[in-house]
Amino acid sequence: MIVGEQKTLDEIMGLLGDAHKVLVAGCGTCVTVSFAGGEKEVGILASQLRMRSKLEGHPMEVDEVTVQRQCEWEYIDPLAPRLGEYDVILSLACGIGVQAMNERFPDSITLPGVNTVFLGMPVEQGIWEERCQACGDCILGLTAGICPIARCSKQLLNGPCGGSQNGVCEVNPDIPCAWQLIWERAVKLGREEWLLEIQPPKDWSKSRDGGPRKIVRDDLRLADME
């Protein structure tokens, strides 16, 4: 899932500037699960905005809404009739949702209230870790199911490097060495041979190096049904 983190109230207040009427728009999918922009966070932030703006002498009128997914037209289209009422929409979705709102409703201003941080998972309650970089060319089948692109600080394809000490990364002792994890898992599975082949340089053109990416599935496109 996409993991987000809410911006500070100070930053959000700065973004909103002198807006008088604000709609705080949450998203019911990834940012709900990462406790950054779901219905509950929308309610808390909207209350904070009302209180803070009143204390600062320019009370804002703040409404709340949370849609199932801000990154799909069908879920945000029902918002259209009411958006004209607001000076600003503060989206608590990820960067995809914020852009979807701006693209679909070009006459409204939608600002981000959340920083989109990474693709990952909650490893335990309250702790999220990065697991995928969406590189576009998955190599998990070669690396014992542990991704060195997302989890090795140097994105090495043939690790570990000399900075791996006692199973942790030299970049930060809180980062387990991905290649140590890969080796240990391969040994446990009796598949050390997986790691004997030297991996050639990765084709980064399938990642961001090839520019923004796009997938077209003609079999799914409604325009091509005839």
Q: Nearer Cβ to another protein, position 9 or 138?
A: 9
Q: Which residues contact 21 (CB under 8 A, 6 or more apart)?
A: 60, 61, 62, 63, 85, 86, 87, 88
Count of C-beta atoms within a 10 Å radius of residue 89: 23
Write the CA distances from 29 to 26, 33, 74, 225, integer angstroms.
9, 7, 14, 30
Is 8 a binding residue for another protein by CB under 8 A? The answer is yes
Site string for another protein, 96-135 (x = CB under 8 A): ----------------------------------------
Contact yes or no for 23/65 (Cβ under 8 A): yes
Instruction: Find the part of the chain contacting another protein (CB under 8 A) among 50-58, 75-83, 180-188, 205-213.
Output: 50-58
Comparing CB distances to another protein, the nearer of 126 and 200 is 126
Stretch that binds another protein, among 44-52, 65-73, 90-98, 186-194 (CB under 8 A): 44-52
- Closer of 10 and 226 to another protein (Cβ): 10
CB of residue 50 vs another protein: minimum separation in angstroms?
9
Q: Any contact of residue 44 with another protein (CB under 8 A)?
A: yes
Nearer to another protein, 53 or 110 (CB): 53
Cα–Cα distance for residue pair 147/20, rounded to 1 Å: 46
Burial of 191 (0-12, 13-18, 19+ CB in 10 A): exposed
Q: Lay out the sheet containing 88-91: strands in order across.
A: 61-67, 21-27, 88-91, 110-112
Q: Contact at 8 Å (CB) between 90 and 22? A: yes
Token pair of 139 as six digits: 């190599």
Q: Which of 40, 54, 191, 213 binds another protein (CB under 8 A)?
A: 54
Q: Are 68 and 28 in contact (CB under 8 A)?
A: yes
Answer yes or no whether residue 203 interacts with another protein by CB under 8 A: no
Does the protein bind another protein through residue 155 (CB under 8 A)?
Answer: no
Q: Among residues 56 and 85, whose Cβ is nearest to another protein?
A: 56
Residues that bind another protein (CB under 8 A): 8-10, 44, 48, 51-52, 54-56
